[in-house]
Amino acid sequence: MNNSTIKQKPYNKWIVFLLVATAIFMSTLDSSIVNVALPYIMEDLHTRVYIIQWVVLAYLVTVSSLLLTFGRLSDTRGRKIIYIYGFFIFTLGSFFCSIAQTPFFLIVSRSLQGCGASMLMACSPAIIIDIFPPKERGKALGMMGTVVAAGLTAGPVAGGILLDLFSWRSIFYINIPIGLAALFAGYYILRGTNAEKGNNEPLDRKGSIFLVISICSFIVFLTHLGRWDISSFKSISFFVISFISLSIFIKTEVKSDYPLFDPKLLKIKLFLFPVISSAILFAALFIIIFLMPFYLTYPCSYSASATGFIMITPFIFLFFLSPVAGSIYDKIGSRWLCTIGISLLTISLASFVFINNSSDIISILWRLALAGAGTALFISPNNTAAMNSTPISKRGIASGAVATSRNIGVVIGIAIAGLIFSSTYSNLTGGASFENYTQEMNIFFMTAFKKATIAGTIIAVPGIFFSYMRGDDKP
């Protein structure tokens, strides 16, 4: 069954675009709004950085683990059912997050939210690629980049305002009415379209299970290195479990007639290199995105609303430059746009090494602006190149793979940031927590902060190579 084209009247493609945009907006809003709230959640629930980072990581690990599964399901069962159930589960998870009284319950609820978000992310790019003709895909995905930027921009601002006026729980309340409205809208707008249809091929359940085990085990290994030590039994055990599970997953995919991920896609250079460079970019970017709220809250002593407004800086550039980058891609391809974009991010990360707690607001803003401009030039051309290079029948898988690489990058970036920052800060302060933070600790905070940004710079450099080596792909 070919579900590659949603046959609608011309104006209806923009109605579907708005529907998909709502899903992308909500998932990105939720990600960015929580980052600003982390210091306040940490204080209210009386926990520490290495635990509170799992409020973000649980969401992202779940999304990363399940994207390929739901991408494949969108091919086999139809995009509509995945979209509808995705919003239902996302909304339910938001409700449970809002009533959480312990870190554990909040982390579990964030995992449920992540399950819903993975369903939305897995099918959304495929719906856009399906409905827009090739000559408009760069523009459409560029506009989707604007939606991503809008969600990321609104998150810190809305989060800062809500935190000043109410408790951190309010950041989850706002998802509930929007989620319910989008659920019902999706049911009616996608009714009668090819988004309801799938190819009815079986799902590779074995591959799905071992992929989840591999990703989860690897992230647990990575995030606990600072506490367990790399040579400890726990560290080795989780790494071995991850490696064995990944090996079984790869073996399963090679032999399966209906793989969760088609290994043949890895032979396509314009798919493989964009996927790799995407993971690298987001790993580097989210080292700074994760740590900035803590830097602005503690050494700089900014209020929640001020922190929120400062954090929108990179996303403002995403908002304005993403559609421009998408349109330029339609003329010149992704190679130079992505290479320049990730180079700008690398420069931005390196520049954070020279910042301190007394740096003026302009010094902070231009560094964040440079990161935002680089990311904006990269995202939509990179995603469009990867999606355009894949066969029509594999677009659900490709969509899931692109989103998986992005989210795994985010998870790795946050895990590395938490690992380097927490271990360095703890060693320098003798294990002091942020509950007892004083201005005398600024020097220790900045030492840990700069070590993490150096790591981000090192991570970003190979992304320049992979972005350039993809070759020309002018549409």
Residue 6: inside a domain:
no
Residue 321: inside a domain:
yes
Residue 48: inside a domain:
yes
State the pLDDT at residue 54.
83
Q: Does residue 262 sit in the same domain as residue 248?
A: no
Question: What average pLDDT does this structure show over 292-319?
Answer: 83
Q: What are the angstrom distances between the C-alpha of 237 and each of 174, 230, 241, 249, 348?
A: 40, 10, 6, 18, 37
Dihedral through CA 470, CA 394, CA 215, CA 52, nearest 10? 90
Q: pLDDT per residue over 428-471, tens digit each?
A: 888 776 667 788 889 999 999 999 999 999 999 999 999 999 87
Q: Does residue 397 sit in the same domain as residue 451?
A: yes
Residue 152: inside a domain:
yes
* Confidence category of residue 193, pLDDT binned at 50, 70, 90: low
Q: Does residue 133 sit in the same domain as residue 147?
A: yes
Q: How far apart are the first and last CA of the chain?
A: 27
Q: pLDDT per residue over 327-355, tens digit each?
A: 888 788 889 999 999 999 999 999 999 99
Q: What are the angstrom distances between the C-alpha of 334 and each of 126, 241, 342, 345?
A: 19, 37, 12, 16
State the pLDDT at residue 2.
42
Helical pair 134-165 and 361-388, crossing angle rounded to 10 deg: 140
For the chain, what is the domain count? Answer: 2
- Residue 405's CATH number: 1.20.1250.20
Q: Does residue 190 sit in the same domain as residue 117?
A: yes
State the pLDDT at residue 218.
86
Q: Does residue 214 sit in the same domain as residue 126?
A: no
Question: What average pLDDT does this structure show over 183-199?
Answer: 68
Q: Which of 149, 119, 111, 407 is nearest to 281 (CA)?
A: 407
Domain with 358, as residue range(s), is 12-203+258-469
Secondary-structure breakdown of the chain: helix, strand, coil percentages, each rounded to the nearest 5 = 85, 0, 15
Q: Is the pLDDT of residue 396 over 80?
A: no
Q: Is the pLDDT of residue 259 over 90?
A: no
State the pLDDT at residue 5.
42
Could you list the beta-strand ranges (E) of 331-470. Answer: none
Residue 256 burial (CB count, 10 A)? 16
Q: Does residue 337 sit in the same domain as residue 402?
A: yes
Residue 203 DSSP one-character state: P
d(CA 305, CA 90): 26
Q: Does residue 186 sit in the same domain as residue 316?
A: yes
> What is the sign, positive or negative, of the torsion defined by CA atoms of 176, 181, 183, 186?
negative
Three-state secondary-structure class, residue 461: helix
Residue 475 DSSP one-character state: -
Say if residues 98 and 172 touch (Cβ distance below 8 Å).
yes
Q: Does residue 84 sit in the same domain as residue 133?
A: yes
Q: Does residue 408 sit in the same domain as residue 340?
A: yes
Residue 475: inside a domain:
no
State the pLDDT at residue 195.
56
Q: Does residue 317 sit in the same domain as residue 356?
A: yes
Q: pLDDT per residue over 57-67, tens digit each?
A: 788 788 878 88
Question: What average pLDDT does this structure show over 83-108?
Answer: 90
State the pLDDT at residue 196.
58
* Confidence category of residue 274, pLDDT binned at 50, 70, 90: very high
* Confidence category of residue 6, pLDDT binned at 50, 70, 90: very low
* Confidence category of residue 197, pLDDT binned at 50, 70, 90: low
Residue 4: inside a domain:
no
Q: What are the angstrom distances between the C-alpha of 452 and each of 9, 228, 416, 421, 423?
A: 51, 19, 8, 6, 11
Residue 331 burial (CB count, 10 A)? 9
Say if residues 97 and 33 touch (Cβ distance below 8 Å).
no
* Confidence category of residue 8, pLDDT binned at 50, 70, 90: very low
